[in-house]
Amino acid sequence: MSKQHWDATKIPDQQGKVIIVTGSTSGLGKEAVKIIAGKNAKVIMAVRNVDKGKDVVNEIQKKFKHADIDVKKLDLSNLSSIRAFANVIMENYDRLDILINNAGIMFGPYSKTVDGFENQFGTNHLGHFALTGLLMPLLKKTEASRIIALSSLAHTMGNLNFEDLNWDARKYNTQKAYGDSKISNLYFTYELARRLNKDGNHPRITAAHPGWTATDLQRNSALMSGMNKFFAQRVEMGVLPTLRAAFDENAKAGEFYGPSGIMNMRGYPVAHSSNKRSYDKARARELWKRSEEMTGVKF
């Protein structure tokens, strides 16, 4: 094993930092909280199921007795829940060092969010778009703050139809809808990086994907769950691209981190490219405009 690999031992002490991880009741988010809390940050778990979140805190505190973790309710498929969460954070915290937009759903049957958005696009992209916008004043106020967007190799399946973002007019294809949500995470990252650059690159936004990691995400696909034991890496490895995107001081705004190994599905994290379509600036701008209109959050 080469000494050049980036792993969690590279993360310095985070005492005094406030870090939010969305969707941290399982999988990658839970693993991220465990590691970050172990580095002495104040971690806010932003979760839709608060009881499940508290169980995670108890589990982590068995290992790190002094882990400083708050659990707060956030349902990314509901704009009023996002607004309520953002209000709680703005009222109770005077800094936000890192926002990790990790939560996600994959391959469910056709359904809509509370606000009428296709569920995967609404939760994975629009929810995090609104959350980031609402928390932006606190992120801007905090020196050297950072934002991380979780995308996926499945962004290559994405090809947004701006005439029908909610799949009202087309036969639903849940794989493509997931791909749409994950290319949207990249358009968001690249567009926000361009916009923030004008303001002196603060906060810094980067993206990550975990290759193929065994988590609860595959629950809607018997095939993928079955193949987990052959192809998926462990969550301890899958979380490293997120952590590198969040903590590597050399990470540049707009970089995309993922595993370096075979087909980018496993291995230690490196910066790499996403597909050509994801760098289309006109599509990224259009998505930004539509996301502002749909969520009512402008930034």
Ligand X SMILES: NC(=O)c1ccc[n+]([C@@H]2O[C@H](COP(=O)([O-])OP(=O)(O)OC[C@H]3O[C@@H](n4cnc5c(N)ncnc54)[C@H](OP(=O)(O)O)[C@@H]3O)[C@@H](O)[C@H]2O)c1
Among positions 41, 74, 100, 237, the unique one binding ligand X when judged by CB under 6 A: 74
Identify which of 126, 129, 132 has the alpha carbon closest to the alpha carbon of residue 112: 126
Residue 160's contacts (CB-CB under 8 Å, 6 or more residues apart) are 180, 183, 184, 283, 287
Which stretch in 97-105, 134-142, 243-251, 283-291 sits in contact with ligand X by CB under 6 A? 97-105
Considering the rule CB under 6 A, would residue 102 count as an interface residue with ligand X?
yes
Among positions 8, 60, 75, 204, the unique one binding ligand X when judged by CB under 6 A: 75
Identify which of 108, 198, 98 has the alpha carbon closest to the alpha carbon of residue 149: 98
Identify which of 296, 265, 292, 260 has the alpha carbon closest to the alpha carbon of residue 2: 260
d(CA 258, CA 244): 9
Residue 168's contacts (CB-CB under 8 Å, 6 or more residues apart) are none
Nearer to ligand X, 14 or 184 (CB): 184
Among positions 11, 21, 25, 100, the unique one binding ligand X when judged by CB under 6 A: 25
DSSP-derived 3-state class of residue 213: strand
Closest approach of ligand X to the CB of residue 48, in Å = 4
Considering the rule CB under 6 A, would residue 35 count as an interface residue with ligand X?
no
Other Cβ atoms less than 10 A from the Cβ of 5: the count is 14
Which stretch in 43-51, 65-73, 91-99, 247-255 sits in contact with ligand X by CB under 6 A? 43-51
Q: DSSP E strands: which ranges in the chain?
A: 18-22, 42-47, 68-73, 98-101, 146-150, 204-208, 256-259, 269-272
Nearer to ligand X, 61 or 220 (CB): 220
Considering the rule CB under 6 A, would residue 217 count as an interface residue with ligand X?
yes
Catalytic center residues: 178
Which stretch in 65-73, 156-164, 207-215, 244-252 sits in contact with ligand X by CB under 6 A? 207-215
* Residue ranges that bind ligand X, judged by CB under 6 A: 22-29, 47-49, 52, 74-77, 102-106, 123-124, 150, 152, 209-210, 212-213, 215-217
